[in-house]
Amino acid sequence: MALSGLQVYKLLPKTNCKDCGFPTCMAFAMQLAAGKVELEKCPHVAEEIAAELGEAAAPPVRRLTLGTGERAVTVGEETVMYRHERRFEHAPLLAVRLGEEVTDQEFSRALVAFRDMAFDRVGQTLRPGGLALASDHAELLAARAMQAHQVTGAPLLLLSSDPTVLRAAAAPLAAARPLLCAADAESLPGMAAVALDLNLPLVLRAGGVEAVAALATQAVALGLKDLVLDTSPATLQEALRDHTFIRRAAVKQRSKSLGFPTLAQPWHLARARGAAAGTMSIGGGESLAVDPLLGTLYASFFIAKYAAVIILETLDPAQLLPLLVLSQNLYTDPQRPMQVDAGVYPLNDPGPDSPVLLTTNFSLTYFTVAGEVENGRVPAWLLVMDVEGQSVLTAWAAGKFVPEAIAPFVRTSGVAEKVSHRRLLIPGYVAQISGELEEELGGEWQVTVGPREAADIPRFLRSTM
């Protein structure tokens, strides 16, 4: 069980030395119990107490890092069932599967497409996280793993049922931390030997929660620590049930045998559903196979509940981008809105006669407005006000985007030195503040009410300003 702040405090030196950066040991204890600081920040904890606190403070789902360098991905370390309780810690690794059925030419093209795929959204770069390479032929898997590592540098999942094949493919790349997939009850001794010799993480696969928990207990007894659990479900319903049960057992009951990240294969489940349902008849008797978007739909469920590694079987940007955006949205801290720095942003090389637009520093608001103005090729100055990352209406309702706060910001922002006019465009959703804002600005600025929707801004600027 996790310790409370008071329980942690009783184990600390209680000297209030401030060496940890907090004013008192109690303040440090509360932050440590909440998982917001590391125990290492206190240099005076006795070794035996550090071991006790370290065990108690460890997250219920073990942390696991795959890959190395700038493309390394960390999963696990989760502490809650629901995002609003605190936050989800690490977005799942979305790994694109390339099987041995792919020709060498197709494989090379896929690696380049994967490497170059990136989407910019609200100031972040989104891209699929890894590659899942599948083969039971040692030479083929080893060659493709090395090629994938050299071309992409992304984390690799090596998929084979043969420990000998995995050893051949993983040994040259052990420093790159690939994930070995997968060991069942029969192959565990051989797979464990490979994982221990190369110090690599291993996927455990068994039918159901109880079976995978028993397999994890055996793996830990063999000396393995970095594990990923796969319950090998037959349907989406079973999969979501298993992932939920595992998270609940880890977080609520602190189950050691289930306190590991989990893996999902949505396309496998989608194919199984299609096979069970058969083909659909359309039009004049034409047969249509299972919907190719079904795997993407299934993957979205696992992003929310609660897979840490998701194996995808598409490189289609139209299918990957929605999954990446969903992951980005769910794995932000709900208590810390995404925001940009306040200031004056030039768009499309503006001059002294270019219009001045006012908005808030909520990232989605900023990038939406900036994107529409830039795409409209209208030179403008974007004046971004710090409202603690809130949207326009939210900040207005909270009393943060109101005339008495906006006027001092406009005066001190420096925008007056960049333009020869005194015209300020405010968002249409706060039209009611225009008159009062002009008064707060002492009549120095003419306030114009802009459109409500960002998409209408370029046309509005061309026609009125």
pLDDT tens digits, 392-403:
999 999 999 999
With bands split at pLDDT 50, 70 and 90, how would you rate the model's confidence at 248?
very high
Cβ–Cβ < 8 Å for 380, 355: yes
User: 284 pLDDT exceeds 50?
Assistant: no
The first and second tokens of residue 406, run together, are 């906006």
Q: Give Cα separations from 235 to 83, 294, 310, 332 (angstroms).
A: 25, 13, 16, 29
Closest to 373 (Cα-Cα) out of 446, 448, 461: 461
Give me the pLDDT at residue 286, please.
39
pLDDT digits (tens, 9 = 90+) for 181-218: 999 999 999 999 999 999 999 999 999 999 999 999 99
Backbone angles phi, psi at 204, to 5 degrees: -105, 130
The yes or no reply on domain 64-330 and CATH 3.40.50.300 is no
With bands split at pLDDT 50, 70 and 90, how would you rate the model's confidence at 283?
very low
The yes or no reply on domain 5-57 and CATH 1.10.15.40 is yes
The first and second tokens of residue 93, run together, are 């690794």
Give me the pLDDT at residue 281, please.
34
CB proximity list for 450: less than 8 A, separation 6 or greater? 357, 425, 426, 427, 428, 457, 460
User: 179 pLDDT exceeds 60?
Assistant: yes
Q: Per mean pLDDT, which range of 152-156, 160-164, 291-295, 437-441 is the poorest?
A: 291-295
Report the run of H or E that residue 460 belongs to, with start and end. helix 457-464
Task: Quote the CA–CA distance of 319 and 323 in Å, as a whole number.
Answer: 7
- Strands 124-126 and 130-134: what pairing? unpaired
Average pLDDT rounded to a whole number, residues 223-239: 96
The first and second tokens of residue 248, run together, are 């609940």
User: 58 pLDDT exceeds 80?
Assistant: no
Report the run of H or E that residue 286 belongs to, with start and end. strand 286-288
| CA of residue 139 relative to chain centroid, distance | 34
Give me the pLDDT at residue 124, please.
86
Residue type, 448: T
Stronger pLDDT, 101 or 465, i.e. the higher one: 101
Task: Quote the CA–CA distance of 320 and 289 in Å, as a whole number.
Answer: 21
β-bridge partners, 290 = none
Cβ–Cβ < 8 Å for 331, 310: no
Cβ–Cβ < 8 Å for 225, 214: no
Cβ–Cβ < 8 Å for 158, 179: yes
Tell me if 64-330 shares its fold with 343-464.
no
Report the run of H or E that residue 185 belongs to, with start and end. none
- The pLDDT mean for the chain works out to 91
Task: Quote the CA–CA distance of 49 and 43 in Å, as a whole number.
Answer: 12
- Segments making up each domain of the chain, as ranges: 5-57, 64-330, 343-464
The first and second tokens of residue 350, run together, are 């503006």
Report the run of H or E that residue 399 belongs to, with start and end. none
With bands split at pLDDT 50, 70 and 90, how would you rate the model's confidence at 39?
confident
Cβ–Cβ < 8 Å for 404, 441: no
pLDDT digits (tens, 9 = 90+) for 423-452: 999 999 999 999 999 999 998 999 999 999
The first and second tokens of residue 139, run together, are 């030479």
Based on the number of CB atoms within 10 Å of its own CB, is 1 exposed (0-12), middle (13-18) or buried (19 or more)?
Answer: exposed
Cβ–Cβ < 8 Å for 294, 61: no
Quote the crossing angle between the two packed helices 294-304 and 317-330, to the nearest 10°: 10
Task: Quote the CA–CA distance of 297 and 291 in Å, as a whole number.
Answer: 10
CB proximity list for 76: less than 8 A, separation 6 or greater? 59, 61, 62, 63, 64, 89, 90, 260, 261, 308
Cis peptide bond upstream of 182, omega within 30: yes
> CATH code for 343-464?
3.40.50.11600
Cβ–Cβ < 8 Å for 188, 209: no
Q: What is the DSSP string of 133-160?
A: EE-S-HHHHHHHHHHHHHHH---EEEE-
Output the pTM of the full model.
Answer: 0.80
Give me the pLDDT at residue 90, please.
95
Give me the pLDDT at residue 160, please.
97
Give me the pLDDT at residue 285, please.
38
User: 280 pLDDT exceeds 60?
Assistant: no
Task: Quote the CA–CA distance of 252 and 258 in Å, as a whole number.
Answer: 11
Residue type, 240: L
